[in-house]
Structure 1
Amino acid sequence: RFYEADQRKHQIGGVQCAAAVGLDEGIFVICTFWLVDDLILLGEIDRARVLFEKILSYSNDLGLMSEEIDPVSGQMLGNFPQAFSHLAIINTAVHLDQAEKKRENSSSGGS
């Protein structure tokens, strides 16, 4: 229940973040990927996938991301490219892939 209430409070312009920020600040990309990781741990794999893809849609044509995303315009803010944003993409992609494979194996009766 706390997660659901907290999630609504931190949704701005289709981008979600685990930490509340003022509208004059950008939403930290790494925090948003941490939220995806939390959804995975909660077993919300489909919701995690949707949010993961949404965050990736803010990258540029080369797949690079900045430190922050403007909550209103979706424009990249801060340091660019930002290494910790890309590390978060990789970590979350691995976690999501593992969770989806585990779910697939469970539904097919595999181990």
Structure 2
Amino acid sequence: MSGSVGDRITLHANSTGSSDRVGTIVGVLGSDGPPYRVRFDNGDESILTPGPDATIEAPSVGERLEQVADRATETARETAEKARETAEDATGRAARAVADTAARIAERFER
């Protein structure tokens, strides 16, 4: 059974009192298949090798586009945060340089 990131996996219940567990493959840890890192719809995440009671389905084109858009949005957020941190660091260094220069100038005037 082979799956890719973004595929939906269903672990079918093997008793009448249990319900199916459904999730999305978020990582393929094997070289060409299982084990998979799965994020279930309830938010839990697990590493598993699916057995015969599991089915894997590729998402529709619309679902795949939504997944790509979600990943792009997250990447953009992370990039923006890193840029903000870099700008704050640069601003802080510039402010310290100005303060140091002002202090040296003040020392010269005191002499």
The bucket for the TM-score relative to the shorter chain is 0.3 to 0.5
From the two aligned structures, give the one with the greater helix fraction. Answer: 1
**TM value normalised by structure 1:** 0.34
From the two aligned structures, give the one with the greater strand fraction. Answer: 2
Work out which structure has the larger RCO, using CA pairs closer than 8 Å and 6 or more positions apart in sequence: 1
Bigger radius of gyration among the two: 2
